[in-house]
Amino acid sequence: LIDDAGISFAYARNLALGHGLVSQPGAEPLEGFSNPLWTLLLAPFFALRVFDPAWTPKLVSHALLLAAFFAIVRCAEGRGVRLWLAASPPLFLVLDSSFMIWTTSGLENPLLAALLAVSAALSMNVVRWRADLAAGAVAGLLALTRPDAIVYAAAYPLALLWTRPGLASLRARLGRHALGFALSFGPYLVFRRVYFGDWLPNTFHAKVHPWMLTVDPMRLWELTRAATGRWAWPALLLAALASALVLVRRRLPLRAFVLLIHLSLASAAYLLLPPDWMG
């Protein structure tokens, strides 16, 4: 377990025991956490007095990861070998030490993974207007999971634009998406203002500095090198050429475009955030 997880545990415990969203009983309300949805998700376990710091977060994390893997496999297409290849990401994720460690560490990462899988699945069904409201609601839940996840609110609208709908249809569908986002994210925003007296969590004031959102191109190099090793430069060149070809020809299947959107937004968040002090 990562020690930062104890912050969410403390707030969830005090909320469940009637002390409010505070770090210690009797303390003034101060939003010292940046993952409200994860904190609220843990509170019922304290209320039912079944929370064990060693086991409960692990079991909840595994349940969320199973949900994420189920959403991924449900999106797989084809038969035989093609189906097995399409459904192989869960296997590779389970074999990835960093993914498994950080999604079972007591933090909000498994919730983020599950919601992202649902976000991608809904974006792949963008041709059906019934997904508009749900996709907006999921985007709001992502923003409540961790602050930088608000970038994924752009995923569904970008997928919608890729399908080239009419202007009237586009406005109506974007409106439904925005409504879904407002319904899931809006109530907590109002609660934050009323309860904590601020529109932003205290972590923003403690951590955000003028250099917080400055783009460092070398971060893209670090990210590519982490994924491809010695092939980083060829990989970057190939990615640039492929992106240019896709934009010019617009023949990329919607499913592949949706995955590219989510990858690009995740990379953008990584580029905008400063390097972590832990390295």
pLDDT tens for each residue of 67-108: 999 998 888 776 778 778 877 888 889 998 989 999 999 999
Helices (H), 87-166: 89-94, 97-103, 109-124, 131-145, 155-162
pLDDT tens for each residue of 103-157: 999 999 999 999 999 999 999 988 877 889 999 999 999 999 999 999 999 999 9
pLDDT tens for each residue of 12-63: 999 999 999 999 999 999 999 999 999 999 999 999 999 999 899 999 999 9
Looking at residue 210, its pLDDT comes to: 56
Q: Tell me the Ramachandran region of residue 20: left when phi exceeds 0, alpha when psi lies from -120 to 50, beta otherwise.
A: left
Q: Tell me the Ramachandran region of residue 80: left when phi exceeds 0, alpha when psi lies from -120 to 50, beta otherwise.
A: left
Structure tokens given for 267: 């990379």
Distance separating alpha carbons of residues 122 and 124, to the nearest angstrom: 5
Structure tokens given for 15: 């909320």
pLDDT tens for each residue of 209-262: 655 666 677 788 888 888 888 888 888 888 888 878 877 776 778 888 898 899
Looking at residue 57, its pLDDT comes to: 94
Longest dimension (CA), the chain: 61
Structure tokens given for 164: 């080239």
CA-to-CA dists, residue 187 to 31, 99, 105, 184, 203, angstroms: 16, 31, 28, 7, 20
Looking at residue 273, its pLDDT comes to: 78
